[in-house]
Structure 1
């Protein structure tokens, strides 16, 4: 996912993080300067759903404008060793094994 807050804000004439921070505070979301800097300048590790709701309300945008999917950056899964053996190897007959002679637990 690509975090697109800065462009979404710029499309609405908001050019400074402090300006957006004041607008968020007016809607009840008080964000520290450090957290605002992280949201504004990079890819945040975590964003609360409530915070996303307030950001969308302030910017009058949808979540799809703040978070842009990048499916091309995800690698295709590699086949596991078991799958390779099943495809390459021959089918072997399954033979039952004798029990080890252990007793059942007491009732």
Structure 2
């Protein structure tokens, strides 16, 4: 998915993230400067559906204008003759030894 907030805002004469941030706050959506920077730059970490509703209400747009599908960016499924890709696990490795304890009887 491509996040298109900046273009949607520009189409409505909003050129600064701080201006949109103020407009969102007037509608009850207070966004931190860091999160607003991510939304404005095109790489938001997360966005909640209720936040999306407020953004659409402020801009007078539909979700389709903010979220643009990019199906050509999705990798093709692996064929049967290709081995599945091994993904590295992030975080600490499980400790060997004792498993979970049993519940009391």
TM-score bucket (shorter structure) = 0.7 to 0.9
- Give the structure-1-normalised TM-score: 0.73
Q: Does 1:75 align with 2:75?
A: yes
Correspondence for 1:31: 31
Residue 8 of structure 1 and its aligned partner are, at CA, apart by 0.2
Correspondence for 1:22: 22
**Structure possessing the higher radius of gyration over alpha carbons:** 1
CA distance in 2, matches of 1:66, 1:49: 12
- Give the structure-2-normalised TM-score: 0.74
Correspondence for 2:40: 40
Correspondence for 2:58: 58
More helix per residue: 1 or 2?
Answer: 1
CA distance in 1, matches of 2:63, 2:20: 17
1:84-106 Cα shifts (integer Å, max 9, x gaps): xxxxxxxxxxxxxxxxxxxxxxx
CA distance in 1, matches of 2:70, 2:52: 19
In the alignment, structure 1 segments of 5+ residues that lack a partner are 83-107
In the alignment, structure 2 segments of 5+ residues that lack a partner are 83-105
Superposition misfits of 4+ residues, deviation over 3 angstroms? none
Residue 46 of structure 1 and its aligned partner are, at CA, apart by 1.3
Correspondence for 1:87: none
